[in-house]
Amino acid sequence: MQVRSIGSDYNTQNNRNIAFGIIKKNTIDKVLKVGEDGIKDKFLCIVSAPSGTGKDSIINKFNEKYDYFARIVTCTTRKPRPGEVNGVNYNFLTQDEFQKGVENGDFLEYCNVFGDRFYGTRKKDVETALATGKNAILVIDVDGAMQVKKNRPDALMMFFTPPSMKELASRLINRGTETMDAIAERLGKASYELGFKNKYDIILQNDDLAESVNELGQIFKLER
């Protein structure tokens, strides 16, 4: 089995190497457990990665193939990009609405991700996703993920890494959704975010989209 060089600084005693990354021992068995009624319990999965790594691409393709996760719609105070739909991509809130939610204790976590823009996960939106009967997936930045890890230690923590910073830059440029300033901001934050990867249960290097999707299928025991 081919093992990439990621995670060489990772404590290997409790890990299992997978083809494109590392998975912490027993973490998958824990979330794939079957309840006393013989039905698999639904679990919460947190995903982080530097912007441009391929989180959305992987999760969308994985879900097209397996229909496995309900995506938790988070909240932001940033303006919608062309094509983004309120309630689908994000719940787009004003600063006031966001602030009120914070005061009411509505959020499981929230962060000031880039400059003056707030992002946060409402507790009720986690429940909405789990109520679909699927596992729930939450795509958030590393600071938010660390807050959730504290509040929900049962959550499975998954981190995607890009093959290199150069490749990350070219993915952001090719995506064409950000200005050069915004790309520079995201690249500037990437090394900070990569410093958190060892706090996650699974680290998957996204070299090839189809391979990443297959890898996840194997991790969640959907493929033999």
Alpha helices in 21-179 (DSSP H): 27-31, 55-66, 95-104, 123-130, 142-151, 165-175
In terms of Cβ atoms closer than 10 Å to its own Cβ (0-12, 13-18, 19+), residue 195 is: exposed
Q: State the minimum distance, in angstroms, from the CB of residue 144 to ligand 5GP.
A: 2
Q: Report the run of H or E that residue 212 belongs to, with start and end.
A: helix 209-219
**If binding is defined by CB under 6 A, does position 161 make contact with ligand ADP?**
no
**If binding is defined by CB under 6 A, does position 24 make contact with ligand ADP?**
no
Backbone φ and ψ for 121, nearest 5 degrees, come out as -110, 120
**If binding is defined by CB under 6 A, does position 215 make contact with ligand 5GP?**
no
Chain residue at closest Cβ approach to ligand 5GP: 144
The binder of ligand ADP chosen from 21, 52, 101, 120 (CB under 6 A) = 52
**If binding is defined by CB under 6 A, does position 139 make contact with ligand 5GP?**
yes
Q: State the minimum distance, in angstroms, from the CB of residue 108 to ligand 5GP.
A: 9
Two structure tokens written together for 204 = 């998957």
Alpha helices in 20-94 (DSSP H): 27-31, 55-66
Backbone φ and ψ for 63, nearest 5 degrees, come out as -70, -35
d(CA 170, CA 183) in angstroms, rounded, equals 10
* Contact yes or no for 45/138 (Cβ under 8 A): yes
**If binding is defined by CB under 6 A, does position 141 make contact with ligand 5GP?**
yes
Q: State the minimum distance, in angstroms, from the CB of residue 104 to ligand ADP.
A: 29
Residue 54, contacted partner among ligand 5GP, ligand ADP, none, CB below 5-8 A by kind: ligand ADP
The binder of ligand 5GP chosen from 42, 65, 78, 152 (CB under 6 A) = 78
The binder of ligand 5GP chosen from 119, 159, 200, 220 (CB under 6 A) = 119
d(CA 22, CA 28) in angstroms, rounded, equals 12
The binder of ligand ADP chosen from 24, 55, 122, 197 (CB under 6 A) = 55
The binder of ligand 5GP chosen from 7, 21, 120, 162 (CB under 6 A) = 120
**If binding is defined by CB under 6 A, does position 140 make contact with ligand 5GP?**
yes
Backbone φ and ψ for 156, nearest 5 degrees, come out as -90, 125
- Residues at the interface with ligand ADP (CB under 6 A): 49, 51-57, 171, 174-175, 206-209
- Residues at the interface with ligand 5GP (CB under 6 A): 51, 74, 78, 109, 111, 113, 119-121, 139-141, 143-144
